[in-house]
Structure 1
């Protein structure tokens, strides 16, 4: 809506359409979704035409939690066209309810089948849930059974996160520090009463922590440091008044 309003300032036809039209203004959610779908179909046809010319293709899936606490799976393909690497985002899928290796395998197979590039698939890379990159029962071995040339490539950023996490586990002071600070997340998320108390007294919720994402720990430390005075005051009130 903001973009359309902005464009209407410089386009008299669009401006008059907003002012005079009573039936078709291009602003209904149905029309906007149809326009988005049409654009997506055109882009997908373009990607398919490029992949037909490419000698090989790789696929990358990355799972993360969004602000609504839903697991979103991003789907990306990479290929080389005329000597230039190309990377295309195909879309995002909500996999909150089902994240098994078999479900992921079906997603990969549907993508490869839709792009008609099974014989060109030479690499696969995943990050997120442990089931995705597991060596024996995970997705990579299942994909390799169907596409023999699809070599698994580990995520370098994921490796760095694991190195940092394991290093901190071997330093007692650091291990105790991160266990203590992560327990705050558990404490304030165990019930709606503690969550509401956090919203009232601190007015800031803690970011979730994950063992394979070091940046999550960094965000948590920064949040606790920024709101440490409010947290200290809150816990003093809890101790004195036994509110929770």
Structure 2
């Protein structure tokens, strides 16, 4: 074979390789992409002072347990980033098994001293003080302080509200759930409601406690249409006896004065909870931000408590039969407000991380000028060993509180940027360490839950016909697409990695 024929043969072989018909080549290319991405993450981690890890676990469509691991750190340009690291198939769901899976992923990054926080949900296997993940992780990473996801803590607060001591509240939420149950999985009933409201009704969500906010708002906004729908079901032929009976019971609830007053009250309270929940879900949220959001939330709930007497005196048209005794709902509304406020204070205000974060929360600086926050400083030094010089930190913070021009922003990150812009990193060295730790510490596992949405899309699209390496590469390309596009040398590095992995029939490298 002449030299020209040999060159054409190699060109033909190269074309066959990249036709996309070989699953082996596809997997190798995806594996190379993921390898290049991991190298970039390792480089970024090396250039940052502190790193935090958050993890969460779910079961995918193939009934496999997948745990996602996410890193949070500050970039050199003082922006906070949360990066997807890996999906891990979990077979041992004990605290030791889960922690070993996390350690195996983190070990190549060498985060022995840098890992300052670990954030999980409140499950016993994750947060347990004996053999929970957070306890086992501290054996290898002693500086990794555990943070219970504050979004999950808010969920627990709402659960406490729904199971309040007063029976009227328990009955109210049980009756509220009955509306979701009535329409769930019943297209004919949904069609009847759509006809009554003259608009398309989306499929009702599954009946779970965290949908109560949406259910309250939906029932309150469509109360007149719901009454008309229940009347239609009772009077028109073609409906079974069970549906007619349930419709009659729900229509009685919509005519009950106490139920409607509580419905109106919670239609005002739940949006406040939604605002706080959405604030906790932000990627940029830090401890000072949570403190500010909690103060606003408690103030709004307290104002609502003052309006309960007026709400309890409201008489809704068509409610209650004449002469029927009407019980006052004002005490119930007040106890609901008190329960929310007390639970929020118990689960949030007593957290060491939030207490220590008041040191760099600009909203507290006027108070700190008058009285230095010694308890907060003691808490921070005890919590984070990286703060080695307590006296120097005390002196720096005292100076910082007196110079209002350095803390014009509302977040800890804005304070860090202000110190950097004024070239005061050496002057406020201990304060910079404190601020970086607080900003790096994740307050929620919301990024992990967002990654699970990507996992679901990938598994559904590919019908689960993939292995774990391909899953991680595809998830990386979807979740971190913006980062990949910013890396100008990403494709050349992937090609070099692919070519150097092993000897191939086609010639890819030329000297």
* TM-score interval (norm. to shorter): 0.5 to 0.7
2:89 to 85, 94, 107: 94
Partner residue, 2:160: 166
C-alpha offsets along residues 56-97 of structure 1, whole Å, 9 cap, x if unaligned?
1111002234445543311001122323323210021233x4
Structure (1 or 2) with the larger CA radius of gyration? 2
C-alpha offsets along residues 98-139 of structure 1, whole Å, 9 cap, x if unaligned?
321111110122122111111211100012744112233311
The separation in 1 between residues aligned to 2:63 and 2:172, in whole angstroms, is 28
The offset of 1:219, in angstroms, is 8.4
The separation in 2 between residues aligned to 1:45 and 1:208, in whole angstroms, is 44
TM-score normalized by structure 2?
0.33
Q: Does 1:79 align with 2:77?
A: no
The separation in 2 between residues aligned to 1:220 and 1:72, in whole angstroms, is 31
Map 1:143-154 onto structure 2 (within 5 A): 143-154=137-148
The separation in 1 between residues aligned to 2:215 and 2:89, in whole angstroms, is 25
- Taking a change above 3 Å as real, the CA distance of residues 99 and 120 of structure 1, as seen in their structure-2 partners, is same
SS in 2 for 1:118: coil
TM-score normalized by structure 1?
0.63
Partner residue, 2:381: none
* Structure 2 residue ranges without an equivalent (≥5): 1-10, 190-202, 218-228, 234-238, 243-511
The separation in 1 between residues aligned to 2:207 and 2:119, in whole angstroms, is 24
Q: Does 1 or 2 have the higher relative contact order (CA < 8 Å, sep 6+)? A: 2
- Taking a change above 3 Å as real, the CA distance of residues 153 and 128 of structure 1, as seen in their structure-2 partners, is closer
The separation in 2 between residues aligned to 1:152 and 1:26, in whole angstroms, is 45
SS in 2 for 1:153: strand
Kindly indicate which of the two structures has a greater share of residues assigned to helix.
2
Partner residue, 1:139: 133
The offset of 1:164, in angstroms, is 1.1
SS in 1 for 2:52: strand
The separation in 2 between residues aligned to 1:151 and 1:176, in whole angstroms, is 39
* Structure 1 residue ranges without an equivalent (≥5): 1-16, 185-197, 223-228, 240-244
The separation in 2 between residues aligned to 1:141 and 1:120, in whole angstroms, is 17
The separation in 2 between residues aligned to 1:106 and 1:85, in whole angstroms, is 27
Q: Kindly report the root-mean-square deviation, in angstroms, between the aligned alpha carbons of the 2 structures.
A: 3.9
Map 1:59-208 onto structure 2 (within 5 A): 59-82=53-76, 83-95=78-90, 97-127=91-121, 129-170=123-164, 171-177=169-175, 207=206
Aligned length: 197
- Taking a change above 3 Å as real, the CA distance of residues 208 and 90 of structure 1, as seen in their structure-2 partners, is farther
C-alpha offsets along residues 147-169 of structure 1, whole Å, 9 cap, x if unaligned?
22111112121111111111111
SS in 2 for 1:122: strand
C-alpha offsets along residues 212-232 of structure 1, whole Å, 9 cap, x if unaligned?
xx25x678999xxxxxx9xx9
- Taking a change above 3 Å as real, the CA distance of residues 85 and 63 of structure 1, as seen in their structure-2 partners, is same
The separation in 2 between residues aligned to 1:104 and 1:49, in whole angstroms, is 26
SS in 1 for 2:27: helix
Kindly indicate which of the two structures has a greater share of residues assigned to strand.
1
The separation in 2 between residues aligned to 1:70 and 1:99, in whole angstroms, is 12
SS in 1 for 2:148: coil
The separation in 1 between residues aligned to 2:207 and 2:123, in whole angstroms, is 15
Q: Does 1:38 align with 2:36?
A: no
SS in 2 for 1:37: helix
- Taking a change above 3 Å as real, the CA distance of residues 68 and 218 of structure 1, as seen in their structure-2 partners, is farther
